[in-house]
Structure 1
């Protein structure tokens, strides 16, 4: 078997998560977070739609982690993202982290918004 090391360039993968935090690119970040080609920043949750819509020029798809359990996105958030031309997928935060890392490794233009587990 041959193993290849994944190189993420400037993007930061999610290395781990736990109660109330995420480890992103080796650094611990507390609370909800948005990861995009612009970097890592705090997120005020599902009502903070402006921060996500601002990602439209830089991403093709946004993964939203809804916490420990999968939950539907608020209609207003989904509508604003679709109007901005951002494809959106939602799942529990652990699954969103894994999917983000795979898409990132493929070189995709992807963003990630996470609520803590």
Structure 2
């Protein structure tokens, strides 16, 4: 990888394998650091749940890649507006697609945050 970002090796069974280590539940990756993310479904995705993304700021996060779970749904208007006001882009898709795209984009050295709802 061009950066020191974790790789998403696998997903499913209620969690992820990142750079060889199992992480239970949803995961938030900001500034190349993975952390537990207490969002179990789309209803839990709020502006507050993304506080670490906003705290990192535009210099560290060009855009947020959202894995919305088993199927792609649009995030709330509040989330979309908050990201826009912070000058950050947004890409959202189902979690499997987001996991694959995350690996490609980090290999290219892109500055992004990933918020992935576990399957």
Q: Point out where structure 2 has 5 or more consecutive residues left out of the alignment.
A: 40-44
Q: Are the equivalent residues in 1 in contact too, given 2:3–2:107 (CA < 8 A)?
A: no
Secondary structure in structure 2 of the residue aligned to 1:40 = strand
Contact 2:53–2:61 at 8 Å: present in 1 too? no
TM-score with structure 2 setting the length: 0.85
Per the normalisation by structure 1, the TM-score is 0.87
Q: 1:72 aligns with which of 57, 74, 98?
A: 74
Shift of 1:61: 1.4
- The answer to which structure has the higher helix fraction is 2
Q: Number of paired residues?
A: 111
Q: How far apart, in 2, do the equivalents of 1:107 and 1:71 lie?
A: 27
Pick one of 30, 37, 41 that aligns with 2:31: 37
Per-residue CA distance 1:26-64 (angstroms, 9 max, x = gap): 111111111122401122331213223223231111100
RMSD between aligned alpha carbons? 1.4
Question: Structure 1: which 5+ residue stretches go unaligned?
Answer: 1-6
- Cα contact 2:8–2:16 (8 A) shared by 1: yes
In 2: Cα distance, 1:59 partner to 1:16 partner? 23
Structure with higher Rg: it is 1
Rounded to whole Å, the distance in 2 between the matches of 1:108 and 1:77 is 22
Aligned residue for 1:54, secondary structure, equals helix
